[in-house]
Structure formats: C-alpha cells, structure tokens
Copies of this chain bind each other. A is one copy, B any other.
Amino acid sequence: MTDLLNALAIGVDIGGTNTKYGIVNHRGEILHQSEIKTETFATPELFVDGLHDAIKPLIDKLPSDSIVEGIGIGAPNGNPFRGTIEYAPNLRWKGVIRMCDLVTERFKLPSIINNDAKAAAIGEMTYGAARGMKDFIMITLGTGVGSGIVVNGHVVYGHDGFAGELGHTTIRPGGRKHWGTGRYGSLECYASATGIAITANEMLDENPNAGSLMRQYSREDINSRVVAECAWKGDKIANDVYQFTGQILGEALANFIMFSSPEAIILFGGVIKAGDLIMKPTKENMEKNLLPIYQNQVRLIFSELKEADAAILGASALVWELEKSNTTAAE
C-alpha cells in the first residue's frame, strides 16, 4: 500500500495557447500546478525542453519516498496507439509529432498521450462524476464539441484511435455550415460556445424589432457567457437561444443513447456554466426523443471536476490507466 500512497502522476494538458501541468496523487489532489506558453516554442523539441525546465525542479522538491509513475499528456489529436500528436489544427507544430518519445527521452519516465476529450472522460471516471461507471459518454461543450465514450469500462478508440467525434455528427441535415470543416448541420455548429454565439446573432437578426439586452453588445462580443447573463436577467431572445441549443443537443444525445445505452451522459466545458439554461431544455428534448425502453434510465449530469483542474486531472489519470494495463498484461 505504501507505493499507492506515495505514487504520483504528472498531468500535462497541451493547448494551442497554454500548456497546463500538475503533479497529482491517487486521490486526485493536485500538489503543484502551473503553466507554460505553448506557442512560444518553435519546435516540439524546444517545447519538451521548456516543459522539463518547468517540471524537473518540482519533482526534485518532492518528499524522497515519492514515486512519480509517469507522465500523462492530453492534447488535441493525441493518438494513444502511436504516442503521437497528428495534424493538430490549433498547434503551431505541423504534421506528426512523436510526443511520447520526446517526453520519455527527456524525463526518463513512461509517458502516455490521449486526445484531450478522451483524457477528460478518463479523468471523470477516475476522480469525478463517473467513478464506478462502466458505460457513459462525456460531452465537452467548449469552443468546439468533443466527446469521450466509455463502453464496459474502456474508452472506445475504434480501429484507428479516432472514435468519438460526436461533435461532427450531423444533427440537422443541410443545416448551418461549419466554420472549420465546411460540412453542414453538425452538432458542433449549434451546441458549442461558438454555435451559441452564432445562434444569438441569427435570432437578433431575425427579430430586428424585438428588444434585447444582447443588443448592448457588438456582434463580436456576444458569446455564450453574455447570452447566459442576459437570459438570467429575463431576456426573451437570450432564453430562446438556450432553448434552441438544448433542443438540438437533446436530440443528439438521444441518438447517442440508442448507440451505446450508457447509464449517464456527463456534460463538461465552458457552456455548462449556463446551468439550468442548458440542462433543462437538453434533458427535456433528450427524453422526448428516446424510445420508451430508454426513457428516464439515463442520468444527464454535469461534470464534478473543477474546469481549471480537469485537464490536468484527466491527463494524470492516463498514467493510472497505463499502470492498470501493464498490470493486466503482466498477469
């Protein structure tokens, strides 16, 4: 048991602008955390040097009986099968990056990488609302819509590691055009923070004579937070925006349930700060679109992890997963 108590994992969440990192114990307590600027490093090699410069002093200061088990990395387009980051549109490093090799060489520690949304799902299963669950879906509602699907206790990767792009499933055939993919009517077009801002501007344009608190803001300044604040003050159009968003999200979740029949769907990300504004219409429309056998069977809940910590916790949880699978393989 001593090794469990002293075991620590390093969680690293690589984002386009910042990279957050922390040292985490088995209870999900973050002992140290900080961040470096991802975009200041011209190459992945320089970035890993910078990360080492930042983290090595923290490791050296740990109590002497601590055991750092490894480094878990969450990253956009992180591929756990190959230990790579592949063609991530939001990072300045292009092509295929052998991130795990670089990190392991520099730190002399095992490392494991995963897509950031899948890392979040593993974090939730390890430390959060999904503890003890074997079948759930985590939906991240941020600038985009990400997802991590867990079936029978295991993250679904598919044959190539690319499973779980639920934000790109079509929910309104021929609907709104996606700003990045050019495809029409995907869930991300509507249920992301970006989509909510577009919906708000569309509704304001369609009702030019209706008063709205949102008209105090320029088009560019309207975001999901502004819409929520106006809705809380009783603004009708702002409330309609969340009603519409929840309708589309609810319909999409009903489809996902008929795929994997999870015991829960966990919502995460900036958009959930809107609370009941997003939860109520989503839940209502999810239930309405389910076959009777699924109705009132699937819990729709918010993540229990603090958003500021979740990325680090999710990345660190990858290390315990690595440990588990090594143990299983050795049995």
Contact = CB atoms under 8 A, between A and B. Distances in A.
A9 to B, nearest CB: 24
Contacts of A255: 169-170, 255
Contacts of A165: 258, 291
B152 A135 contact: no
A154 interface: yes
A157 interface: yes
A152 B154 contact: yes
> Copies of this chain, how many?
2
Interface stretch (A204-212, A260-268, A269-277): A260-268
Interface class of chain A by DSSP? loop
Nearest to A255: B169
Contact of A251 (B173, B181, B259, B294): B173
A255 B154 CA distance: 21
Interface residues of A, number: 40
Given A156-B151, A173-B251, A251-B173, A166 B261 contact: no
Contact of A170 (B151, B289, B297): B289
Interface string A168-202: 11111100000001010000000000000000000
Contacts of A166: 258-259
A154 B163 CA distance: 15
A280 interface: no
Contacts of A134: 159
Contacts of A163: 135, 151, 258-261
A101 to B, nearest CB: 22
A293 interface: yes
Interface in A255-312: 255-256, 258-263, 289, 291, 293-294, 297
A149 B259 contact: yes
Nearest to A181: B291
A254 interface: yes
A259 B256 contact: yes
The 5 A-B residue pairs whose C-beta atoms are closest, nearest first, are A158-B261, A163-B261, A159-B263, A169-B255, A135-B159
14 contacts: A134-B159, A135-B158, A151-B158, A156-B260, A159-B263, A160-B263, A160-B297, A162-B261, A164-B261, A165-B291, A166-B258, A171-B173, A256-B259, A259-B260
